[in-house]
């Protein structure tokens, strides 16, 4: 995955915004996505988990956490995140996300 140009500036900007609104789920999600783009999966995971802490039903955070953990080779953590995403998708009756998460679980290596 190519690293986007000016990413450190984007990360710094989001961090400054979080200083003003530390409980903004979308800002934490945006920061996590920037970390993913920079190949910083562990930092991304922390931000996705913060999203889930702030809003336990924030479905995109669980899906992206699963993908980040898969990329980091942490397959058990990826599976746990995808399982939670599936549970929430089913509660919300979001068939599109259910199908996507099911596919992610099917291709996830064991261990």
The reply to whether 14 falls in a domain is: yes
Range of the domain at 92: 7-107
Q: Is 1 contained in some domain?
A: no
DSSP 8-state code for residue 102? H
Q: For residue 34, tell me if it sits in a domain.
A: yes
Give the pLDDT confidence of 71-87 residue by residue, as tens digits. 999 999 999 999 999 99
Segment 35-67, tens digit of pLDDT = 999 999 999 999 999 999 999 999 999 999 999
Q: How many domains does the chain have?
A: 1
User: For position 25, what pLDDT does the model report?
Assistant: 98
pLDDT at 111: 60
Residue 7: which of 47, 30, 35 has the closest Cα?
A: 35
**Domain presence at residue 2:** no
**pLDDT score recorded for residue 5:** 53
110 confidence band (pLDDT: 50, 70, 90): confident
Q: What's the pLDDT tens digit per position in 5-37?
A: 546 689 999 999 999 999 999 999 999 999 999
The pLDDT value recorded for residue 20 is 98
Q: Average model confidence (pLDDT) for the chain? A: 93
Phi, psi values for residue 19, rounded to 5°: -60, -35
φ and ψ at 76, to 5 degrees?
-65, -40
CA of 67: how far to CAs of 80, 85, 86, in Å?
A: 11, 11, 13
State the pLDDT at residue 1: 46
Q: How many residues does the chain have?
A: 111
Tell me how far apart the alpha carbons of residues 75 and 47 are, in angstroms, rounded to a whole number: 18
- C-alpha 76 chain-centroid distance: 15
CATH, residue 24: 1.25.40.10
């Amino acid at each position: 995955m190519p690293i986007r140009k000016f990413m450190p500036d984007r990360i710094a900007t989001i961090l400054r915004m979080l200083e003003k609104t530390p409980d903004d789920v979308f800002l934490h999600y945006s920061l996590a996505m920037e970390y993913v783009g920079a190949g910083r999966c562990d930092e991304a995971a922390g931000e996705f988990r913060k999203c889930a802490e702030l809003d336990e039903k924030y479905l995109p955070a669980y899906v992206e956490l699963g993908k980040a953990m898969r990329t980091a080779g942490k397959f058990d953590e990826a599976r746990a995140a995808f399982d939670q995403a599936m549970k929430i998708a089913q509660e919300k009756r979001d068939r599109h996300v259910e199908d996507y998460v099911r596919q992610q679980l099917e291709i996830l290596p064991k261990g």
